[in-house]
Structure 1
Amino acid sequence: MIAIVDYGVGNLFSLVSSLRALELEARVTREAAELRAADRIILPGVGAFGDARAKLDATGLVPVLREEAERKPLLGICLGMQLLFDRSSEYGDHPGLGLVPGEVTDLRADLEDPALKVPHMGWNSLHVVRDDPLFRYFRDGEYVYYVHSFYARNCKESTLAVSQYGNVAVTGVVRSGSVWGTQFHPEKSGDAGLRLLKAFGEL
C-alpha cells in the first residue's frame, strides 16, 4: 500500500487516480499508524514552502516521516520534493526536512534570459544524468510537466535527472538513500509520468 500524506496542500485527486489506474493501492492519510504500515509513502505538495512546512508540522507527522524514510521508499512531488531539502529561501528562510542535502532557491535569480517566464510551467524534456531503478520504464529525453518558481540547488550528488530551462539545469529528480523526489508532477505527465509511478510502486 502507498500512503499519500494529507497535510492540506493541494488536490490529491489526480495522484490517487493515477496510482489506481496502475492498480496500485493508494490511501490518503494523516495518520501516523497508516504511514508506518504502508509499503511506500508519497509526500505531495503545491503552494509556498513556509506555509506547507507549517501545515506539515501541525500534523505531527514530521518525526514519523523521518523515521519511515530510513525504512521504505518515500517520494516527494513538486513542493513535496522541495520539502525534502535542508532549507528554502522562498519568502524568508525556512527549514526543510533534511532528508536530501541541498537548498531551494528562486529560479528567477539564476535565469539569464529575462524573456523566460517564471513560474517554469508546462512540458520540458527530462535528461537522466545518473541511472536509477526509478527510470526502469522511462526513456531519456521524455517530456514531463512542471509548475514551479523555485528549484533545488547544491545537490549534485543526489541529482538523477535535469531539465534545461534557458541557462539553468533545473533539478528534476533526486535521490538520497530510500528517498526520491520529482520537481515535476508525474501524475500530470501522461504516459511517461505513469511509468515513473509504476517503477516507484515496484521499488
Structure 2
Amino acid sequence: MSASPPTTRWCWPPTGARASAGGSSRTRTRGRSNDSTRRRPQRSPGPSVTSRHFTRLLRAEARLYENRRDQRLTTNALATLAGNVLRSAPLGVTPILGGVDDSGPQVYTLDGGGGVLSDDYAAGGSGIQLAYGVLERAYDADMDRSEGRTVAARAVESASERDTASGNGLTVATITSEGVEATDVEAASEVA
C-alpha cells in the first residue's frame, strides 16, 4: 500500500442525531455515521448494533483486500465488497457509501439484499422521501463543497421536521487528505 495520504477530498453524508427502531425513537443524541475503511465513510440506517457489525465486517474485508493486493481499495470496489457482505450475511441495513478516489467523487446506496446503485446523491432512513424532495430540487453537479454541505443539511432538516424518527440535530463531515472535519449542529442554517 502507498504510504502517502490520498490527495482527494471525501464527503460524508449528513445524518440526523436521533436513532429509531420499530417506529419509536430510541435516543435523541446518537450519531449514525461510521468510517468503514478509515478513508471512506458509510452511513447506515437500521439498528445500531447491526450497523456497527456491518461496519466491522466491511472494515475487515477491506483490510484483507488491501493487504493481499498491496493497493488501496477504490470506492467502487468497496461498494461492490459491501454488496457482497450484505448478500452473504443479510443484516437488515441499507447503507450509503461515499468517497472520492482517482475516479472522482462517488456515492452508492446499497439495499439489504446487496444491490449496489451509484448516483450523484443519496438519502436513506425513515425520512428518505422528504430528504429526496430537497435533494432533487436543490442539487447541482457544479456546486462547491460549502453549497453541497448546506443542501445535504437542508435535506436532513426537511426529513426531521416531518418524520418522528429523524432529527434532533445533525452531523455533517468532510473528509480530506488531512483528516476528518465533523460538525454537529442543531439546524441546517448553522452549516457552512
TM over 0.5: no
Q: Which has the higher helix share?
A: 2
TM-score for the superposition, normalised by structure 1: 0.30
Structure with more relative contact order (C-alpha pairs < 8 Å, separation 6 or more) = 2
